[in-house]
Amino acid sequence: MDRVRRVRTSHTLEDQRMLKTLLVPLIRSSGRELCRLNPGELQEAAERGWNLDRLNYKEFQAARAIAAAGHISLDEARFLADLTRLTSKDDPIIEVGTLFGYSTLVLAMNKHKDQQLITVDKYSWNPLGISEYAHELATRAVLQEACATQNVVMLRQDKADFYKSYRGPAPGMFFCDANHDYECTLEDLLWARKVGARIICGHDYDAQNHPGVVRAVTELGGPSEVSGSIFVL
* Phi–psi pair at 187, nearest 5 degrees: -60, -45
Mean pLDDT within 105-131: 95
Share of the chain above pLDDT 70, in %: 85
pTM: 0.81
Listed in sequence order, the residues at least 6 apart from 190 whose beta carbon sits closer than 8 Å to its beta carbon are: 220
Instruction: Supply the Cα-derived Rg of the chain in whole angstroms.
Output: 24
Integer CA distances (angstroms), 166 to 134, 157, 226, in order:
27, 12, 28
In angstroms, the CA 167 to CA 216 distance is 25
Which domains, ranges and CATH numbers included, belong to the chain? 2-67 (no CATH), 74-232 (3.40.50.150)
Considering the chain, what is the average pLDDT of its residues? 89
pLDDT in tens, 12-56: 667 666 655 654 454 455 555 557 888 988 998 899 999 989 988
Question: Which 3 state secondary structure label does DSSP give 187?
Answer: helix
**What is the model's pLDDT at position 66?**
80
pLDDT in tens, 57-97: 888 888 887 887 778 999 999 999 999 999 999 999 999 99
Q: List the single range of 1-5, 103-107, 144-148, 156-160 with lowest mean pLDDT.
A: 1-5
CB 121 within 8 A of CB 108: no
**What is the model's pLDDT at position 134?**
95
In 3-state terms the chain splits into helix, strand, coil percentages (rounded to 5) of 50, 15, 35
Beta bridge partners of 201: 175, 232
Give the pairing type, strands 117-121 and 152-156.
parallel
